[in-house]
Structure 1
């Protein structure tokens, strides 16, 4: 198999760089409903229920929940080493943005229109939020 690299443009929200495996959520994420000891989503009926977001590059539509539970949830994950490496979001909200900046977690939005069709769970990506690029490695 051959590894293909494809680069996509994006918009920097919180600077930084990270590489990791993509985990795609079609559902909004409430970080308070993620177990901080394991990174496992504990929200029933969530598409990622029972899966760990720890160390992943999380692709999701938006955050959900009050500002207090969102910020605390992200903080607990970061302090236990179970936070995502980077986040790619469709609709950033103030709490998500502020939390990512404070916790120095790369966060981007406004990806190329072809980005979502060019990725799948398990792809390895490099998010360079500072320079506004996402590089996807996939097998062909």
Structure 2
């Protein structure tokens, strides 16, 4: 299955998918090691390490851009998929050099599947279940 969206940040990643049905704030939502620490998150206790993270849209402080940048530069976060990207998330992904695609119906995505995120074509391709 291929889902077509809009490329925001160029790049290419193949990894396990982690899907949140709720908006996400990187400032206070995740620790430096990539663990989701926001107790209101539907993914509380999960890890972003080595994963592509899908969520509807970002929320919160502009410091969230730096958190995304840090997670990306240290190889923890591999890519982002949004329903509707906003500037905080876009800035972090671009600075961090990870692919980001939006205009994807994240409610069709399956947690722990293996996907290819193509930030050049704006596509999400399923490889199989995780």
Pair in the same fold by TM > 0.5 = yes
Q: What are the within-5 Å matches in structure 2 for residues 17-96 of structure 1?
A: 17-33=12-28, 34-36=30-32, 38-67=33-62, 69-82=63-76, 84-96=77-89
The answer (yes or no) to whether the contact 1:32–1:74 under 8 Å persists in 2 is: no
- Could you list the runs of 5+ residues in structure 2 that have no partner in the other structure? none
Please tell me the root mean square deviation across aligned C-alpha atoms, in Å: 1.7
CA displacement at 1:39 relative to structure 2: 0.7
- Deviations for 1:96-134, whole angstroms, at most 9, x for unmatched residues? 1122111111000112x5x633x3111100011102221
Q: TM-score, normalised by structure 2?
A: 0.88
What residue is the counterpart of 1:116 in the other structure? Answer: 107
Aligned residues: 128
The structure with more radius of gyration: 1
TM-score by length of 1: 0.82
Given that 2:72 and 2:96 are in contact with CA atoms closer than 8 Å, whether structure 1 keeps it comes out as yes
Q: Is the 8 A contact 1:71 1:95 kept in 2?
A: yes
Distance of aligned partners of 1:138 and 1:47 in 2 relative to their CA distance in 1, 3 Å threshold = same
Regions of 4+ moved over 6 Å: none
Unaligned segments of structure 1, at least 5 residues? 1-5
Could you tell me how far apart the structure 1 residues matched to 2:122 and 2:68 are? 23
